[in-house]
Amino acid sequence: MDTESALFYRQLPKVELHAHLNGSVSSETMDLLMKRKPHLNIERGMTAILREQRRSLDECFQVFKVIHQLVDSGEDILLVAKAVIQEFAADGVKYLELRSTPREVTETGLTKQIYIETVLEAIRQCKQEGVDIDVRHTGGISTCLNRFLVAVDRRHGPEVAMETVKLAEDFMLCSGGTVVGLDLSGDPTVGHGKTLLPALQKAKNCGLKLALHLSEVPSQRDESELLLNLPPDRIGHGTFLHPEVGGSDSLVDKVCKQNIPIEMCLTSNVIGQTVPSYDKHHFQYWYNRGHPCVLCTDDKGVFSTDLSQEYQLAASTFKLSAEDVWNLSQQAIGCTFAPEPIKQKLEKMWAELKQQILQ
Ligand SMILES: CNc1ncnc2c1ncn2[C@@H]1O[C@H](COP(=O)(O)O)[C@@H](O)[C@H]1O
């Protein structure tokens, strides 16, 4: 990327809606964690995949297992969550919805409750520190607005999913609006979404927004048919929804009629080889239909990317003008799970920055 366009993408105000906390840990933070736990013998190449490399999805999921060994206490979670938020903010992200799967680790005293509380504490501290810096330097907002989605890992089955929904509901009610929704993620080749329907339905009924990974691999057509009836509020990936790649018109109809935004993660999909190359990415299909598409990073640490690079990649691959790129980043505001006043605040921020950045 030449420096001038790199600056444009960095300065572009952005919204990040699909970021898994443990997949987003930077190599700098990983180095710190590895130093703290030398007995694990984990090296850099085990926690991140270079942009040029290709892996099977299964190999990508092995990487998360390694990272989970490094991040296994409340102290670790506070460290990674704060660092990830600060890195997104430094990349020009103005609003971030982080997602993470609460875990329990007996040896360190970590419980799922403490896990979520710690992420919320990290968000609180970043807000506090951001405000402080803002006051001292009067230099614009130095952190981003944050919301949190509690993640259900599909591998753990329906009972754990139901427990997680209950936990998410409790936190939605006592987090002052920070916990806004539920994510369904995990290895898409494991389990079937129909067993998770009661938990997802319960989440929806209690007011949690649903961001569901759908059709990330080709075998999920029936599952997507079923889950789209809920319906979800956003779709993660949606790589194999349309008929050209083995999806169906019925799936496309459901997504379009309900106008469900799709979170798209170019680098992640190409490295994980669910998409053969950038120019074959399904972004093109949905963008050409005028459907709301939100560019996201997925796992910026594991896939060695950041949101500025994802915008730059989409622009160069699909020949988007600066105005198109601007509209894409602005459209993402409407796809957030933020309440109306926050959306208005973001719209105002975009309007104020437009002249300065697009000139
Ligand atoms: C590559 N595409 C993907 N598809 C599905 N699930 C994914 C994912 N990338 C990440 N995760 C989910 O996020 C977890 C790591 O972050 P947290 O420990 O929750 O913060 C992974 O274990 C997986 O469940």
**Centre of ligand 1 from the C-alpha of residue 187, in Å:** 8
pLDDT for the residue numbered 131: 59
Positions marked active-site: 216
State how far the alpha carbon of 326 is from the alpha carbons of 281, 318, 332, 351, in Å: 20, 14, 10, 11
Print the domain residue range for 282: 3-346
pLDDT for the residue numbered 138: 38
141 vs 133: CA distance, rounded Å? 8
The reply to whether ligand 1 has any atom less than 6 angstroms from the CB of 18 is: no
pLDDT for the residue numbered 102: 98
Element (H, E) at 182: strand 179-185
Mean pLDDT value of segment 275-301: 98
Mean pLDDT value of segment 11-27: 97
Task: Give domain status of residue 354, yes or no.
Answer: no
Q: How confident is the model at residue 142 (pLDDT cuts 50, 70, 90)?
A: low
Task: Give domain status of residue 23, yes or no.
Answer: yes
pTM score of the predicted model: 0.97
**Centre of ligand 1 from the C-alpha of residue 164, in Å:** 16
Percent of the chain at pLDDT exceeding 90: 93
pLDDT for the residue numbered 132: 53
Q: Per the structure block, which two tokens stand in for 342? A: 């926050």
pLDDT digits (tens, 9 = 90+) for 181-238: 999 999 999 999 999 999 999 999 999 999 999 999 999 999 999 999 999 999 999 9
**Whether the predicted pLDDT of 144 surpasses 80:** yes
**Centre of ligand 1 from the C-alpha of residue 350, in Å:** 30
Q: Can you tell me which atom of ligand 1 is nearest the CA of 268?
A: 1
**Whether the predicted pLDDT of 270 surpasses 70:** yes
The reply to whether ligand 1 has any atom less than 6 angstroms from the CB of 22 is: yes
Task: Give domain status of residue 252, yes or no.
Answer: yes
The reply to whether ligand 1 has any atom less than 6 angstroms from the CB of 238 is: no
**Centre of ligand 1 from the C-alpha of residue 302, in Å:** 10
Q: How confident is the model at residue 143 (pLDDT cuts 50, 70, 90)?
A: confident
Task: Give domain status of residue 226, yes or no.
Answer: yes
> What's the 3-state SS for 325-339?
HHHHHHHHHHHCCCC
**Centre of ligand 1 from the C-alpha of residue 109, in Å:** 23
Task: Give domain status of residue 356, yes or no.
Answer: no
Task: From 21, 33, 61, give the residue whose CB has the most ligand 1 atoms within 8 Å, as the site to mutate.
Answer: 61
Q: Which of 7, 57, 95 is nearest to 299 (CA)?
A: 57
pLDDT digits (tens, 9 = 90+) for 230-246: 999 999 999 999 999 99
Percent of the chain at pLDDT exceeding 70: 96
State how far the alpha carbon of 244 is from the alpha carbons of 19, 50, 260, 280, in Å: 28, 29, 20, 11
The reply to whether ligand 1 has any atom less than 6 angstroms from the CB of 91 is: no
Task: From 20, 25, 60, 104, give the residue whose CB has the most ligand 1 atoms within 8 Å, as the site to mutate.
Answer: 20
DSSP string, 191-232: S-GGGGHHHHHHHHHTT-EEEEEESSSGGGHHHHHHHTTS--
pLDDT digits (tens, 9 = 90+) for 146-181: 999 999 999 999 999 999 999 999 999 999 999 999
Task: Give domain status of residue 323, yes or no.
Answer: yes
Whose C-alpha lies nearest to ligand 1, atom 8?
186
Q: How confident is the model at residue 10 (pLDDT cuts 50, 70, 90)?
A: very high
The reply to whether ligand 1 has any atom less than 6 angstroms from the CB of 183 is: no
pLDDT for the residue numbered 136: 43
Q: How many domains does the chain have?
A: 1
pLDDT digits (tens, 9 = 90+) for 66-79: 999 999 999 999 99
Q: Can you tell me which atom of ligand 1 is nearest the CA of 213?
A: 5
Q: Can you tell me which atom of ligand 1 is nearest the CA of 187?
A: 5
pLDDT for the residue numbered 346: 96
pLDDT digits (tens, 9 = 90+) for 323-347: 999 999 999 999 999 999 999 999 9
Q: Is the ipTM of this complex over 0.85?
A: yes
Q: Can you tell me which atom of ligand 1 is nearest the CA of 185?
A: 6
Q: How confident is the model at residue 139 (pLDDT cuts 50, 70, 90)?
A: very low
The reply to whether ligand 1 has any atom less than 6 angstroms from the CB of 215 is: no
57 vs 220: CA distance, rounded Å? 15
The CATH number of residue 44's host domain is 3.20.20.140
Task: Give domain status of residue 353, yes or no.
Answer: no
- Computed over every residue of the chain, the mean pLDDT equals 95
Task: Give domain status of residue 175, yes or no.
Answer: yes
**Centre of ligand 1 from the C-alpha of residue 20, in Å:** 6
The reply to whether ligand 1 has any atom less than 6 angstroms from the CB of 16 is: no
